[in-house]
Amino acid sequence: MPRTKLLEILFVVTAGLGLLFVGWAVLIDRTAAPAPTLTTTATTAAPITAAPTPTPTIPPSPTPASPITLTILHTNDTWGYVWPCG
Amino acid sequence: MARRATKIKEERAASPYVLLLDAGNSIYGDQALTQITQGRVVITAMNLMGYDAMALGAGDFRLGLEVLQARIAEARFPILSANVLAADTRQPFVTPYVIKKVGGYRIAILGLTDVGEIETILGQDARALKLLDPLETARRTVAELCPQADVLIVLSHLGTQLNRQLADTVPGIDVIVGGLVAEWPKEPWRSQVNGTLLVEAEIPSTGYAGRQIGVLRLQLEGAHGITGYTWENVTITPDYSDDPDMSALLERYSTQ
């Protein structure tokens, strides 16, 4: 084979290999693991302190009172009658 | 009224611990003096008798909102309802409950109103009100009141059937004083579920109203709560004399 022809073939092969290498490198780059995220210590915002709600005033349980009789007088539906009829 | 006042005075003379309650539908009716005064004579008389609380009944709305509010302002006792609100503010139309101290015991009294008829009675004016389901309201309010009271009384104008349902489904109520009665009350009804006592006094009819007064005596024994009771339904007959103070008041109104 003439020497020029041999050089030509060598050049083509080398170029092809070079292209292959470049392609592989690009492929590797695109599938590379994502860059590790930076971990930062977040600053926790101070909780919003709600306005203090007034504590309902519930009377404390009294000491047991003495026994009593509670009389409940009850009426209903008297219709505003002020005079008896009949 | 004059005879009822006599009976009430007798009871107060016999016992230092008396509560006088009305379960509603008592401000307005078909008697002339009540109509002419738009219920003012009734409120004045109830003030004189020293009523401790009254439930708002649907029939009381027959006065109309403006007049009813005027009567409520004149009452020297709270007129109660936990399930009627003002539509614009969503605040109670009247006081929902009171807690009274009697003989060292905290007595909570909660009012409930029959809302079914109010829209019919008020017509378009009913839009000024927000009417809540009474049982749901009771469930919520009773839970709030229980820790604050030794005895919890519901003054309820819901009717016998709904009052019995209230007694069975809402724990924590000691006594329901009921209005809008379905059957002539011969004795108290007691819930088998919660032990709540239901007492009712009267089924009114034209020409016969305001003549019954229930007398419930509860034995309260400190931390043991209610340990016993007696009840009677007293008919205010002509055997009772007219109370002079009440007679004078009614006479004044009659001659005005």
How many residues can be counted in chain A?
A: 86
Long-range contacts of the stretch B40-43 (C-beta < 8 A, 24+): B40/B71, B40/B74, B40/B253, B41/A80, B41/A82, B41/B249, B41/B250, B41/B253, B42/A80, B42/A82, B42/B71, B43/B71, B43/B74, B43/B75
Please report residues of A whose CB lies closer than 8 A to that of B28: 79-80
Burial class for B153, CB neighbours closer than 10 Å (0-12, 13-18, 19+)? buried
**CA–CA distance, A47 with A50 (Å, rounded to integer):** 9
* Topology at the third CATH level for domain B2-248: Purple Acid Phosphatase; chain A, domain 2 (3.60.21)
Q: Range with the lowest mean pLDDT among A13-22, A23-32, B182-191?
A: A23-32
- Mean pLDDT (whole number) for A53-72: 67
Which run of H or of E encompasses A68?
strand A68-75
> Any idea what DSSP says for residue B91?
S
> Given this model, what pLDDT does residue A33 score?
43
Q: Is A71 on the interface with B (CB under 8 A)?
A: yes
Burial class for B14, CB neighbours closer than 10 Å (0-12, 13-18, 19+)? exposed
**CA–CA distance, B100 with B106 (Å, rounded to integer):** 6
> Given this model, what pLDDT does residue A23 score?
67
- Summarised one tens digit per residue, pLDDT across range B6-47 is 999 999 999 999 999 999 999 998 888 999 999 999 999 999
Global confidence as pTM: 0.81
> Given this model, what pLDDT does residue B118 score?
93
Per-residue pLDDT for B70 more than 80?
yes
> Given this model, what pLDDT does residue A10 score?
85
**Widest Cα–Cα separation across chain A:** 147
Residues B190, B146: contact at Cβ < 8 Å? Answer: no
> Given this model, what pLDDT does residue A42 score?
34
Record the tokens describing residue B34, joined without a space.
């009540």
Please report residues of A whose CB lies closer than 8 A to that of B57: 77
- Greater confidence, B72 or A7? B72
- Summarised one tens digit per residue, pLDDT across range A34-47 is 443 333 333 333 33
Its sign, for the CA torsion B113, B117, B119, B125, is negative
Please report the DSSP string for B13-50 in residue order: HH-S-EEEEE-S--S--SSHHHHHTTTHHHHHHHHHHT
- Mean pLDDT (whole number) for B232-248: 95
Please report residues of B whose CB lies closer than 8 A to that of A65: 103-105, 150, 220, 222
Banded model confidence at residue A64, pLDDT cuts 50, 70, 90:
low
> Given this model, what pLDDT does residue A60 score?
52
Per-residue pLDDT for A12 more than 90?
no
Could you tell me the residue ranges of all domains in chain B? 2-248
Please report residues of A whose CB lies closer than 8 A to that of B199: 72, 74
- Mean pLDDT (whole number) for B115-127: 93
Alpha helices in B75-223 (DSSP H): 118-122, 134-145, 160-169
Its sign, for the CA torsion B144, B145, B147, B152, is negative
**CA–CA distance, B114 with B136 (Å, rounded to integer):** 13
Nearest to B201 among A58, A74, A81 (CB): A74
- Mean pLDDT (whole number) for B55-80: 97
Portion of chain B with pLDDT greater than 90, in percent = 89
Nearest to B18 among A58, A71, A79 (CB): A71
Contact state of B220 with A84 under an 8 Å Cβ cutoff: no
Q: Which residues sit opposite B151 in a β-bridge?
A: B107
Q: Is A55 on the interface with B (CB under 8 A)?
A: no
